[in-house]
Amino acid sequence: MSKIKITEKFEPFFEVIAGKHPQVTRVIITGGRESGKTFTSGLGFCQAIVEFNHRILYTRYTLTSAEKSIIPAMENRAELLGLDPWLNTVGKTISTTHNRGKIDFAGFKTSSGNQTAALKSLEDYSVLVCEEAEEYPSFEEWEKVELSIRAKDVAPFSVMILNPTAKTHWIYPKFFTARGVKDGHNGIVGDTLYIHVTYLDLGEEFVAPKNWILFESARKIWNKVQRQKKADEPVESKDEKVAKWFSEVVLGGWKSSVDGILIPDWDLFDDWPHDVGKDGKKTYHEPTIRIFGLDWGFNPDPTALVEMRKYGQHMYVKQHICETNLVNSEIIERIKKIVPDDCYIVADSAEPKTIEEFKRAGLAIIKAKKPPGSIKAGIKKINNCILHVHRDSDDIQHELNHYHSIIVVNTKGETVIHIVDKDNHTIDSIRYADSLY
């Protein structure tokens, strides 16, 4: 039998599988490159179905070709443990021959990415596994399935396996910040077991030689940068990049934000202000500029309606609509209930026919000004304001945390900044509203 390395950090995980920590209903496994998190958890899942009669729903957000990748890998784990004689694979199911244990492999989404997969009759499952959990877009979508896992004969729990991404992802504020759990924590906190592993937990014998050399070289630079920062010494740019890569990719650290965020500074508000001065203090009343911005969409892009109120330099924004699959008649009906008659709606000028339809429906709607360079100019205008976002405007907050630019080389060989056309629908609505002034 091949050698298997199971770090002691995983011991509580195997105890959860055996029912020794019934208070644990969730396991969050994080780690970087060559950390063995998927491999070691797979060993546990094989043991779970053979020895403890667990029924596991093993998911990825979009799962394709499971028979060629993930299922053979799981069969390999079982063989390493000597459990393969008790297992049988048919299609996308690995089942046991002596009890009800099984692993069903499924995707939350179909391969097309726009249709929720049919996950039905989940009551008999005892474990929900979400591999590459960073791909799951919302807590609500994950929770809907997680709450359906409720076997009675064994203690049910869920498992999230992921490469940490930006701290703006819902997993971090929900299960780390809100619970006071620090990055890289190992242990049980309340109802959750946290496991964080790196290549150092496996050791040189269990890491590909070329990767071990690369990682250790980067670790030396990372240690050097840490010492320099602690001593308040200057750090070379090339060393900073290597240290950042080692921390985020190799060690699996959480990023403070997505790189290249375009609108980084903003805060939250609960109620529209009444007496706000230019300095942000409640000193005197200034006339309010109140405009609505509208960005067209259908599927997969949403239609977005955002209200903007300006008090001097202060810009307050609140989303009213951010939904897919709305037809014009539905949008018109919704807008008439939201937008007062004395307020303008500034819409994307890309659809003049639709704008005319909205005008004929009695709405005060006008085209947004979109001259060349208007996107960058609009972003600059927003950044020149003091931006406040309504606390209930989740989509605006999400986009502000993800709307970013990247550095690319164009066809002329020039290095340019490219704004990624994604996560920008409510932000476009804000730009359109602001373009009137």
Domain containing residue 64: CATH number: 3.40.50.300
Place 54 in a pLDDT band, splitting at 50, 70 and 90. very high
Confidence band, pLDDT 50/70/90 cuts, at residue 136: confident
Residue 82 falls within a domain, yes or no? yes
* pLDDT value of residue 115: 38
327 with 186, same domain: the answer is no
Query: Which helix (H) or strand (E) element contains residue 405?
Result: strand 405-409
280 and 243 in a single domain? The answer is: no
Question: Looking at the structure, do residues 127 and 273 belong to the same domain, yes or no?
Answer: no
- Summarised one tens digit per residue, pLDDT across range 173-206 is 899 988 999 999 999 999 999 999 999 999 999 9
Strands (E), 175-218: 187-189, 192-197
Is 334 or 66 the better-scoring residue by pLDDT? Answer: 334
* Pairwise CA distance, residues 17 & 27, whole Å: 11
- Split at pLDDT 50, 70, 90, the class of 119 is low
Question: Does residue 69 sit in the same domain as residue 158?
Answer: yes
- Residue 411 above 80 pLDDT? no
Query: What DSSP state is assigned to residue 234?
Result: -
* 144-172 pLDDT, tens digit each: 889 999 899 999 999 999 999 888 788 99
Is the whole-model pTM more than 0.85? no
- Residues 435, 437: Cα–Cα separation, whole Å: 5
Q: Are 43 and 6 in contact (CB under 8 A)?
A: yes
- The residue among 428 and 240 whose pLDDT is bigger is 428
Cα diameter, the chain: 79
Is the same domain home to 222 and 302? no
pLDDT score for 66? 62
pLDDT above 50: residue 116: no
State whether the Cα torsion 378-383-387-391 is positive or negative. positive
pLDDT digits (tens, 9 = 90+) for 90-115: 999 999 999 999 999 988 764 334 43
pLDDT, one tens digit per residue, over 363-406 is 999 999 888 889 999 999 999 999 999 999 989 998 998 888 87
pLDDT of 112 reads 38
Is residue 214 assigned to a domain? Answer: yes
Q: Structural domain of residue 80, as residue ranges?
A: 8-202
Name the pLDDT band for 64 (thresholds 50, 70, 90): low
Domain assignment present for 260: no
Q: What is the pLDDT of residue 217?
A: 96
Are 223 and 291 contained in the same domain?
Answer: no
Give the span between the Cα atoms of 398 and 229, in whole angstroms. Answer: 31
Mean pLDDT score, 329-350 = 94
Residues 144 and 281 in one domain: no
Model pLDDT, residue 401: 83
At 268 the pLDDT is 87
Q: Mean pLDDT in the chain?
A: 88
Q: Is residue 258 part of a domain?
A: no
Task: Give pLDDT, residue 4.
Answer: 85
Domain boundary among 250, 281, 313: 250
Residue 107 is inside which H or E element, if any?
strand 102-109
Please give the pLDDT value at position 406: 78
What was the pLDDT predicted at 120? 59
255 belongs to a structural domain: no
Within a domain: residue 81?
yes
pLDDT at res. 402: 84
The answer to whether position 309 is within a domain reads yes
**Same-domain pairing of 422 and 279:** yes
* CATH number of the domain bearing residue 328: 3.30.420.280
Given this model, what pLDDT does residue 340 score? 92
With 0-12 / 13-18 / 19 or more C-beta atoms within 10 angstroms meaning exposed / middle / buried, residue 370 is: middle
Domain boundary (250, 281, 309) is at: 250
Q: Could you tell me if 217 and 193 lie in one domain?
A: no
398 located within any domain: yes
Name the more confident of 188 and 437. Answer: 188
DSSP letters along 294-358, please? Answer: EE---SSSPEEEEEEEEETTEEEEEEEEEESS--HHHHHHHHHHHS-TTS-EEE-TT-HHHHHHH
Total domains present in the chain: 3
Judge if 285 and 193 occupy the same domain: no
Does the pLDDT value for residue 124 go beyond 60?
A: yes
Q: In this structure, are 15 and 158 located in the same domain?
A: yes
pLDDT of residue 65: 64
Residue 122: is its pLDDT beyond 90? no
pLDDT score at 188: 97
- Structure confidence at residue 28 as a pLDDT band (50, 70, 90): very high
416 or 64, higher pLDDT = 416
Model confidence at 1, in pLDDT bands (50, 70, 90)?
A: very low
Contact in structure between 168 and 136 (CB atoms under 8 Å):
no
pLDDT at 235: 87
pLDDT tens digits for 252-303?
A: 999 876 778 899 888 888 998 875 555 555 544 455 778 999 999 998 899 9
Give the pLDDT band (50/70/90) at residue 410: low
Query: Does one domain contain both 53 and 109?
Result: yes
Structure tokens at 228: 């320099």
* Strand arrangement of the beta sheet that strand 187-189 belongs to: 87-90, 93-96, 102-109, 55-62, 127-131, 157-162, 26-31, 192-197, 187-189
